[in-house]
Structures are given as structure tokens and as C-alpha cells.
Amino acid sequence: MTKNKFGYFLGLLLLSLSSCGPAHYVTYQAPVTVEVSYSLADSLWTFSQTHLDGFTVNIHNWQEPKEGIVVAYSATQDRHDRADLDFVVTHAQSNDGFVGGWFNTESGRYYFDSVRLFPEDSLEQAIRFGRKNAQIAIFILSKGKEVLLEY
């Protein structure tokens, strides 16, 4: 392109850009927790469909712990459907970062909970936490064993 043609082209480009109005800049904003929770809740909902026997998962890294004592928080009790899972995930994000799910054969419902994971040598502490949170039972992952809490 010759010097004159380049100057003419540059002039037209600048003229067309200036006629578009002032420039507007868009700044990046991180997604809010609700959006993150919704995405996690969708993933957990799908995950639960293939884990009908139950699961415990760390929502920060999607790891399923193989040992520990799982105890649910009372704040997330009786959560059954997809809409309830949004609340459970939000609660888990603000607490220990674990979500559990299990199918109750008596009621025919799948339950979701924000849960706390205790080391397996902390049974008494887990029982106290379970009672404080009005739980019927706690679960020892490595043994696949439910421990009923007596009051």
C-alpha cells in the first residue's frame, strides 16, 4: 500500500471510529456466590443421579473422602429437591465445604445435607456435634457404617 493510500485508509478508519461515539470500557467482575452455588448445585444434582446409594463430596475439589465420620448440619435438614440443593451448597461454601446425599428407602426421597467431616478417631466429638444438630445418625465412611444416636 502506498503512503497516500495508507494515509487515506487510516483517515477513514479514524473517522468511522469517531462516529461510533465515546468508547465504553467493560470491567471484569467475578461471579457472585449465588451463580457459583447454582453451578455447583447443578453439578451435584447430576452427580446424585449416578450415586443413588449416597455420597460425600468436597465441593472445592470434587474429591470423595474414603474415611471420616460424616455429620450433617441441622440447618440443611429435610432438603430433597433441586431447589433445596442451592441452599445446601451455599451453606457448605460458608462452612466445611462438604455435601452429602443419600436415599431414604422408607420415605422414597433423596436427601441432601451440608456436612462436617470428623476424623475417625473423634467419634465422641462427632456424636456430640450430631446431637447438637438433632441428627438421628452419623456415618463412618471407611466402614460404611451408620451409627444411630441415642438421646
Domain count, the chain: 1
Does residue 76 belong to any structural domain of this protein? yes
Is position 80 within any domain? yes
pLDDT over 80 at 53, yes or no: yes
Residue 13 lies in a domain: no
Q: Which of 20-34, 76-90, 104-118 has the lowest mean pLDDT?
A: 20-34
Q: Cα(116)–Cα(100) distance, rounded to whole angstroms?
A: 9
CA-nearest of 32, 45, 30 to 99 is 45
Q: Which three cell numbers stand for residue 122?
A: 473423634
- Residue 127 is assigned to a structural domain of this protein: yes
CA nearest 44: which of 96, 106, 114? Answer: 114
Asked if 87 contacts 94 with a C-beta cutoff of 8 angstroms, the reply is: no
Domain that holds residue 105: 32-148
For range 101-112, the mean pLDDT? 90
* 7 within some domain: no
Cell of 32: 457472585
Structural domain contains residue 17: no
* Domain-located, residue 123: yes
pLDDT for 105 equals: 86
The whole-number pLDDT of residue 13 equals 47
**Assigned domain for 95 exists:** yes
Compute the mean pLDDT over every residue in the chain, rounded to the nearest whole number: 83
Q: What's the pLDDT at 90?
A: 95
